[in-house]
Amino acid sequence: MRLSNRSTGATMLAAALAVAASGCSTKAPESSGGGGSGEGGAAASDVITDVGIEGNTITLGVLTDLTGVFAALGQDITNANSLFWENNQVCDTYDVELDVQDTGYVPQQGVQLYSGMQDSILAMQQTIGSPINTALAPEYESDQIVNFPSAWSKTLTEIPGTGVVGATYDVEIANGYDYLFQEGLLKEGDTVGHIYFEGEYGANGLAGTQAVAAEKGLEVIEAQIKPTDQDMSAQITQFRAAGVDAIALTVAPGQLASVATVAQAQGLDVPILGSNPVFAPGLLDGPAAAKIKEDLYIASPVSSFDAHPELLEEYQAAYPDAVPSLGVVVGFGMAEMMKQVLDAACENGDLTREGVVTAFNELEEVDTGGLVVPIRGFEVGQSPSLQSFILQPADVPGGATVLQEAFEGEFATAIAG
């Protein structure tokens, strides 16, 4: 008789490791991007400074992702940040240097890299990734750091000094619904299927759907998934059986591609409304392209290149080999906002960290020249904007065109508080 002395032990080991390994899922997505240039502030001879300014040079930190899952996006946003500051000054006096560090989208690495730059930066031009922003929140708060994340979760607005670049996901998707109602693509009492990621990104998007559903009597079929789930066949089959009139997505581009191909295959011909991170230009090379171009509506905090051709030209001249995504628009937009904060601090005569935070808190009605939706101001716990653009995928640089200029939907105020 065969005596297998290794099989069972190995089986149990493998089972344990497989369970452990499956816990390492990927992360919630970030999104698209921006640009523009700003006006200089007042002259600054008697400006008080402390950390992060040497002579006439201000150093800003950038914690981005150049090698992790959001590397392409991180590269675009960071390039745009750099390009903006090459051509702009604070108060017409100070040049800005960026201390760019690559977190690889690992929170632990982000925390370590921040401790390395902590004593040499005035503020953070960019921090990519909700998990990293959340991990650094206590330090940013105690160090009085003004920071611009490239994610739109409502929880990020709870961090003092952190400026979400547009409407939060709940307000954003509610504006998307408003557009569908206006265009007659959805009506009161209809059924909507919403696929969303577990975690704060998905929960925040779903909250927007639930708020609209309560107002308009929509029936909502919720389908929660993990970022690693790639095949949406089962969810779309379920939606089709329930007879949904629209699909809402707070997921990543991979899931959108699957939703589009399966919906097409099953003959589920309904509009798809997406939170801004659902779209990536690469989708337009895949089998889902036709369906996506026809039925996808993206609620977005930033505009697209067709409204800002000069920005695209400038970017392509500086980075001829890059394939620009809307991350470029986000990057320019957030740099423009930082410039307005620093200019205001400079005009107040106080470019210390505390002075910068004060200027940030006092900022109202931020206009980035149409790159980012108008910002009403940064108040803790509130969506910085009530407006969103509606974009539609198309075969253009950046992959999308503006279908509806920035507007405030009827549900926005109630949701934003």
Partner 1 sequence: MTQFLSLLLNGISLGVLYALIAMGFVIIFKASEVVSFMHGSLLLLGAYSIARLSGPLGFFPAILVGMLITATAAFIVERLIINRLRGAPVISLAIVTIGVDIILLTELIRRLGSDILNVPHPWGGESFRIGNVGLSQNRLIAILVAAVLIALFFAAFKYSNWGIAMRASAEDGETAALMGIRQGQVSALAWVVAGVLAAVAALFLVGSPTPGVTPAAYAVALRAFPAAILGGLDSVGGALVGGLLIGIAEALAAGYQDQLLFLGRGFSAVVPFIVMIAVLLFRPSGLFGTRELTRV
Sheet hosting strand 400-408, strand order edge to edge? 219-225, 191-197, 246-250, 272-274, 296-300, 387-393, 400-408
Of the pair 129, 161, the CB lying nearest partner 1 is at: 129
Of the pair 43, 241, the CB lying nearest partner 1 is at: 241
Burial environment of residue 198 by CB neighbours within 10 A (0 to 12, 13 to 18, 19 or more):
middle
CB of 272 within 8 A of CB of 256? yes
Burial environment of residue 10 by CB neighbours within 10 A (0 to 12, 13 to 18, 19 or more):
exposed
Least distance in angstroms from the C-beta of 219 to partner 1:
12
Q: Which residues contact 4 (CB under 8 A, 6 or more apart)?
A: none
Of the pair 55, 267, the CB lying nearest partner 1 is at: 267
Q: Which whole-number Å values give the CA distances from 307 to 90, 312, 408, in the listed order? A: 26, 10, 19
Residue type, 337: M
What count of other Cβ atoms lies within 10 Å of the Cβ of residue 262? Answer: 21
| Alpha helices (runs of H) in 25-91, residue ranges in sequence order | 71-86
Give me 269's structure tokens.
């011909």
Of the pair 225, 390, the CB lying nearest partner 1 is at: 225
Least distance in angstroms from the C-beta of 232 to partner 1:
7
What count of other Cβ atoms lies within 10 Å of the Cβ of residue 188? Answer: 9
CB of 253 within 8 A of CB of 73? no
Of the pair 221, 357, the CB lying nearest partner 1 is at: 221
Detail the DSSP E strand segments found in 55-179: 57-64, 95-102, 123-127, 147-149
Of the pair 128, 342, the CB lying nearest partner 1 is at: 128
Least distance in angstroms from the C-beta of 417 to partner 1:
26
Of the pair 195, 371, the CB lying nearest partner 1 is at: 195
Least distance in angstroms from the C-beta of 157 to partner 1:
24
Percent helix / strand / coil, the chain, rounded to 5: 45, 20, 35
Give me 186's structure tokens.
């959805």
Least distance in angstroms from the C-beta of 278 to partner 1:
11
Distance, in Å, from the CA atom of 71 to the CA atom of 102, rounded to the nearest integer, reads 9
Least distance in angstroms from the C-beta of 403 to partner 1:
22
Least distance in angstroms from the C-beta of 220 to partner 1:
11
C-alpha triplet 34, 39, 41: angle, nearest 5°: 125
Distance, in Å, from the CA atom of 123 to the CA atom of 44, rounded to the nearest integer, reads 19
Least distance in angstroms from the C-beta of 335 to partner 1:
20
Of the pair 88, 209, the CB lying nearest partner 1 is at: 209
Least distance in angstroms from the C-beta of 191 to partner 1:
12
CB of 200 within 8 A of CB of 130? yes
Least distance in angstroms from the C-beta of 196 to partner 1:
9
CB of 346 within 8 A of CB of 39? no
In 3-state terms, what secondary structure has residue 362? helix
Of the pair 285, 395, the CB lying nearest partner 1 is at: 285
Whose tokens are 């906002």? That residue is: 337
Of the pair 280, 416, the CB lying nearest partner 1 is at: 280
Least distance in angstroms from the C-beta of 299 to partner 1:
20
Of the pair 10, 214, the CB lying nearest partner 1 is at: 10
